[in-house]
Amino acid sequence: MSESDAWHAGIRYHTQDSVHIILLGPPGSGKGTQAIRIADRYGIPHISTGHILREAARSGTELGRRVGATIAAGSLVSDDLITDIVRARLHERDAASGALLDGYPRTIAQAVALDAMVPQDGVIVLLLRVHEEEIVRRMRRRRVCQSCGITQTVPDADAAEAGHCPRCGDPLVRREDDDPDIVRRRLRTYAALADPLIAFYKDRRCYAAVDGLQPPEQVTTALFSHIARIRGDGAPPPADD
């Protein structure tokens, strides 16, 4: 069977050094910003499950109708649904050499499903640690580009006009679920699920945690250095992580 036939039959080929990087952390921990940098550096697609679901909700597809209210309320969509979405996305050609996963897995069931989807020797799990008060403070100033999904921090949390996306020029808006009450609900959901998820990964050699309170450039440097170490192509990072 040719590679192309195999793709159509749903069989994935990963290049020998394929890398699947899972970025964990609470909402507002800077995952989106760091995810874009890592994906660019390694030439892999940035797969944000939140972005996929928001796009679907906005475009009014069948999927969007099913998940729109769930997202707006800050609750989680079902494990089976989100896993089907991620599995299909990982089958796309641009993910042949890996992907950066942002927002997935969020539950043990999703983590178990992911283990069966990707080759284990190429998996890297990185946690961004940021405490709750800092997150609530950050989320008040967070705006998102509706088109390309990148996030920006605005100087004035209450400004009606948030400016335009530096990448595509479309308006930046506050995400409906970044409303402070919904943020608190999302954080409670995260807190309930994060500990078991971290426990699932933390004894693996491919796991590292980084202090997400550092300036973004330093967070990026720390993440890159852990990726290089885990892949076996770099010096160990400082011991405080």
Which residues have a catalytic role annotated?
31, 106, 142, 175, 186
- Read off the amino acid at residue 102: D
Residue matched to tokens 């760091």: 34
Among 14, 37, 42, 77, binds ligand AMP (CB under 6 A): 77
Residue matched to tokens 């440097």: 221
User: What does residue 212 show for φ and ψ, rounded to 5 degrees?
Assistant: -80, 0
Write the burial class of residue 15 (CB in 10 Å: 0-12 exposed, 13-18 middle, 19+ buried): exposed
Cα separation, 54 vs 67, in Å, equals 9
Smaller CB separation from ligand AMP, 37 or 185: 185
Nearest-Å Rg of the Cα atoms of the chain is 18
| Stretch 148-177 residues interacting with ligand AMP (CB under 6 A) | 177
Structure tokens given for 68:
């729109």
Among 14, 66, 70, 221, binds ligand AMP (CB under 6 A): 70
Stretch 201-240: interaction string toward ligand AMP, x if CB under 6 A: ----------------------------------------
- How near is the Cβ of 86 to ligand AMP at its closest, in Å? 8
User: What does residue 240 show for φ and ψ, rounded to 5 degrees?
Assistant: -70, -10
Among 18, 29, 34, 49, binds ligand AMP (CB under 6 A): 49
Which range, of 49-57, 113-121, 163-171, 218-226, touches ligand AMP by CB under 6 A? 49-57
Smaller CB separation from ligand AMP, 50 or 98: 50
Write the burial class of residue 35 (CB in 10 Å: 0-12 exposed, 13-18 middle, 19+ buried): buried
If binding is defined by CB under 6 A, does position 113 make contact with ligand AMP? no
Instruction: Give DSSP secondary structure letters for 131-171.
Output: -HHHHHHHHHTEEEETTT--EEE-S-TT-S---B-TTT-PB
Among 104, 138, 150, 172, binds ligand AMP (CB under 6 A): 104
| Stretch 16-35 residues interacting with ligand AMP (CB under 6 A) | 27
Query: By the criterion CB under 6 A, which residues form the site for ligand AMP?
Result: 27, 49-50, 53, 70-71, 74-77, 82, 103-104, 106, 110, 177, 186
